[in-house]
A and B are shown apart, each in its own frame.
Chain A
């Protein structure tokens, strides 16, 4: 190995930094918003943004795995809602807190398992399977809740809501959960054989199969992880709000998919990173926050977000074509 000068090392590191595109966008947004509105820079606001994106970004972890494996999941918003409702019902009945956690996580695992099995074994496109699941699961949410919010809990539920607290009243625990999950997910995806198999499966399913990889199983695991992270996001929402409405999570899938795609994960599989997804979620959070600070009318906000996503996908496809 030849000795590299610091400058060369930096240049080389930068050129290998695959998230540099989205990173530049993020920095630009931060700079522009800091100039436009001084409130943006305040530590309190930054912490607020991080808390706000934690639910979307945790759910986006599973979605990243799934999109890299060349599948995707429209049911995450419904799973988020059902997990929260199920946990709330368990808590309301005065069952132990741990049972509420397990029940909510089980919702994610079961829905993910169904999505994955039907998609891979019965060869129904994920779009159809998870679109149906979106409605089916939402139906359960309404059925179980009777259409009403659940917000009155016995004392025994109090320890569940600790997750929604902030350390010293300023730093929300859910940010720590987000960071920990991102580190674990990043390590699994980039450093383990399982992560490697996800990339291989999404990159070229036929080739992966011919090397003995059970691509169906890999995809089913990715669906389960997507369900699981959506359920974790639901748990966090319940513990923060200490209440859950049956419409919780409607339309959530769009923000989650948008975060993943903005983060540079290739829509057709095989390429993407957890760090990119984090940056993608951060961009969405910052844009939303910035628009509030700049008093952009709520309805135009949605259009603007949609516009940003479209541009990001066009750029992604364009970049891909450029290289081939």
Chain B
């Protein structure tokens, strides 16, 4: 008997060290429908995509495809089930042609065992035509614009003639016209051969334009599945974010002083546009927004890690030119990067060495490191920040995420900064260490350090920030005091 559902998820759970990314998820996707998957950053969407495409396997639960219980244990298995995924980060080979990129996986072979380039080019030309992309199949991929590249990525996925495709933020770099073409083609293919689509996006308007049903995830849990034509954007936002957040439990009495840092109209071509804000002494200023809104880029620009094309930064009311990171550090700015593994820890080195990385001049004398001073400093931070280590000589890579983060925070605190930029400071950190880090940040603000808190987690922003600015596509779209701020308001600024 034909089953109405193409794929069913039964009690799927996926646990990463310290986090439950998916918690007992059950829902189904009907054959031939376009099904939206929505949720905040960290709701579990990517994990679910990765499970469907065989990149991850669930710890618990099972998947049913066409009525049969199956295991998608690796990407090859997903391919066998005719499941194809267009990932958000596009892996392309820039020096190969469009046709070669489209046929990257299963390349057609002529009868002599050589690549059948003629067929590849012909097929590619047809696909390009269908999507109205005016490019030759032999054009080099690297010459294409980003939006064309992401279209090619979708072509490549469709070329495998899948039964089920997963599109992860497919429109994030597309123009309006390209988006329309994509939607027309999707609808066409869907009606022609019952293609099932899982459409993952933050762009709620688009979801209401093209999808049949919407599934909402929150904090790794399944919330609900609704028919698109029976609901509206506001109720979806409420479902995505609706939590009871105690905005005051973490808050402590403190005084916010004069303006320490001011950005006036800072721009960086294609990334930041006319960003202006003020940060006061002892204030925690949240920077909210979706992925790709330019928050990390703003942090890096203030920190001197990226160049600013236009605009000025003022510290204590004086205009300063921050050309590089060491200048930023001299002005008392510190930054904790979002990417702890690649830009934070030095994995081969000990906790001790990682901790003195910024303030090594404090523990040295004419270029010689003084062990006694190092140990005093390191042990002081280990006990003050409650860092769990067996010895300060332990390799940092053997610590948990939370303890690694505490070492990195200590690294900067040892330099006595005035301004601390925290980019996703609790990403991938377990709940206990998370709240420790939150109260640590609050305490720092009480001591007079000004904090720029970049975060995708709205509860984090709402519970410790004094003020929030919301970014979208490199611009500031809204500003809220903590009394005004709610998850709904922030999401509206971030998506509107």
Contacts and interface: CB of A to CB of B under 8 A. Distances in A.
Interface of A: 16, 191-194, 196, 199-200, 203-204, 206-214, 266, 270-271, 323-324
Nearest to B412: A211
Question: Could you say which of B326, B346, B347, B361 has the most chain A C-beta atoms within 10 Å of its C-beta?
Answer: B346
B259 interface: no
B305 interface: yes
Contacts of B337: 207, 210
Question: Could you say which of A210, A211, A212, A214 has the most chain B C-beta atoms within 10 Å of its C-beta?
Answer: A211
Given A193-B364, A196-B360, A270 B325 contact: no
Given A192-B369, A196-B360, A196-B369, A207 B325 contact: no
A200 B393 contact: no
Contacts of A199: 346, 348-349, 353
Nearest to B339: A206
A270 B348 contact: yes
Given A207-B344, A211-B411, A200 B357 contact: yes
Contacts of A212: 324-326, 328-329, 358
B237 to A, nearest CB: 35
B344 to A, nearest CB: 6
A208 B347 CA distance: 12
B349 A270 contact: yes
Contacts of A210: 303, 305, 325, 335, 337, 343-344
Contacts of A196: 353, 356, 360, 369
Given A16-B393, A200-B357, A210-B335, A194 B367 contact: yes
Question: Could you say which of A196, A207, A323 has the most chain B C-beta atoms within 10 Å of its C-beta?
Answer: A207
Contacts of B357: 200, 207-208, 211, 213
B342 interface: yes
A324 to B, nearest CB: 7
B120 interface: no
Given A193-B360, A214-B326, A206 B343 contact: yes
22 contacts: A191-B369, A192-B369, A193-B361, A199-B349, A199-B353, A200-B349, A203-B349, A204-B342, A204-B343, A204-B346, A207-B342, A207-B343, A207-B345, A210-B305, A210-B337, A211-B325, A212-B328, A212-B329, A214-B326, A270-B346, A270-B348, A270-B349
B296 interface: no
Interface string B316-336: 000000001110110000010
Interface in B380-420: 393, 395, 397, 411
Contacts of B305: 209-210
Given A191-B368, A192-B368, A196-B369, A211 B358 contact: yes
B411 A203 contact: no
B305 to A, nearest CB: 7
Nearest to A68: B348
A268 to B, nearest CB: 9
Question: Could you say which of A16, A192, A199, A203 has the most chain B C-beta atoms within 10 Å of its C-beta?
Answer: A203
B485 to A, nearest CB: 30
Interface residues of B, number: 31
Nearest to B305: A210
Interface in B158-211: none
Interface in B288-340: 303, 305, 324-326, 328-329, 335, 337
Nearest to B369: A191
A165 B63 CA distance: 79
Contacts of B395: 323
Interface in B58-116: none
A32 B305 CA distance: 56
A159 B348 CA distance: 46
Contacts of B303: 210
Contacts of B344: 207, 210
A200 B326 contact: no
Contact of A193 (B325, B342, B348, B369): B369
Nearest to A201: B346
B36 to A, nearest CB: 36
A204 B353 contact: no
A196 B354 CA distance: 10
A247 B18 CA distance: 60
A214 B323 CA distance: 13
A267 to B, nearest CB: 12
Contacts of B349: 199-200, 203, 270
Contacts of B358: 211-212
Nearest to B359: A211
Nearest to B342: A206
A194 B369 CA distance: 9
A203 B329 contact: no
Interface in B432-447: none
A151 to B, nearest CB: 42
Contacts of B368: 191-193
A2 to B, nearest CB: 13
A271 B397 contact: no
A324 B367 contact: no
A206 B340 CA distance: 11
Nearest to B398: A323
B369 A203 contact: no
Given A207-B343, A212-B329, 13 more contacts: A193-B369, A196-B356, A196-B369, A199-B346, A200-B346, A203-B347, A204-B347, A207-B342, A207-B346, A208-B357, A211-B358, A211-B411, A214-B326
A191 B363 CA distance: 11
A110 to B, nearest CB: 25
Question: Could you say which of B337, B347, B357, B367 has the most chain A C-beta atoms within 10 Å of its C-beta?
Answer: B357
A40 B311 CA distance: 73
A210 B364 CA distance: 20
A199 B353 CA distance: 9
A200 B348 CA distance: 9
A195 to B, nearest CB: 8
A108 B415 CA distance: 37
B37 to A, nearest CB: 32
9 nearest CB pairs, A to B: A203-B346, A270-B348, A212-B326, A204-B346, A271-B348, A212-B329, A206-B343, A212-B325, A211-B358
Contacts of A324: 347, 397
Contacts of B328: 212
A61 B395 CA distance: 25
A202 to B, nearest CB: 8
A252 to B, nearest CB: 28
Contacts of B360: 193, 196
Interface string B265-298: 0000000000000000000000000000000000
A34 to B, nearest CB: 36
Contacts of A192: 364, 367-369
Contacts of B361: 193
A213 B348 CA distance: 17
Contacts of A194: 367
Nearest to A190: B369
Interface in B15-38: none
Contacts of B348: 199, 203, 266, 270-271
